[in-house]
Amino acid sequence: MLREHQNSQRPEKGSNPRAIKISNRLLAMLNSLPKDDERVFKVNYDAIRKSFDRQRKRLVKKLQNPRIKQITFHAFRHWKATMEYAKTKDILHVMRLLGHRNINNMLIYTQLVNFKDDEYISKVATNAKEACQLVEASFEYVCTTPENLMIFKKRK
């Protein structure tokens, strides 16, 4: 069972607060932690940022790839939003996930990657049970053949 957890921090730039689903098991684990502070994890965001920057510089040197310097925490957010949109084709879902209030801010995620050239895995379902299993495995329905075979695809 999943429960929604509301982020108690104030959203930035006037965006909407986000609720994330967590399992009962995770909720029980979090509730079993000591309650001597408002936060579960006492983090120093400046220390995290400095550690990220150090690791990024180390990778640039090790891999001899200066483009790694362009990777930021915000780039991970863009990547997640782009992948979520590619998976669901639901811009309103991605908008809620990111906490955006204006759909115009979301349009960038529909244009970041050309998914038409992607390679897919195809599967065929012969009955409703097989079709449900494919949907649960993140396959997307494509069509039904005249022989009543259901074709599904998923990006490799």
Q: Where are the domains of the chain?
A: 45-114, 118-155
Of 117, 108, 114, nearest in space to 156 by CA: 117
Percent of the chain with pLDDT over 90: 35
Longest dimension (CA), the chain: 64
Q: What is the pLDDT of residues 32-68, one digit of tens each?
A: 988 888 777 778 888 888 999 999 999 999 999 999 9
pLDDT at 5: 47
What pLDDT does 14 receive? 62
From CA 110, how far away is CA 94, in angstroms rounded? 10
Instruction: Tell me the average confidence (pLDDT) per consecutive run of 10 residues in the chain, 156 residues long.
Output: 49 66 89 83 85 94 94 86 82 85 78 68 94 92 92 86
29 membership: H or E segment, kind and range:
helix 24-31
24: nearest Cα among 2, 8, 48, 51: 2
Q: Between helices 91-98 and 73-88, what is the axis angle to 10°?
A: 150
Q: What is the pLDDT of residue 114?
A: 65
**The pLDDT value given to residue 105:** 77
Structure tokens belonging to residue 22: 């967590």
- Confidence (pLDDT) at 11: 58
Distance of alpha carbon 38 from alpha carbon 36, whole angstroms: 7
Q: Of 144, 132, 138, 22, whose CA–CA distance to 88 is shortest?
A: 138
The pLDDT score that the predictor gives to residue 152 is 93
Q: Is the pTM of this model over 0.75?
A: no
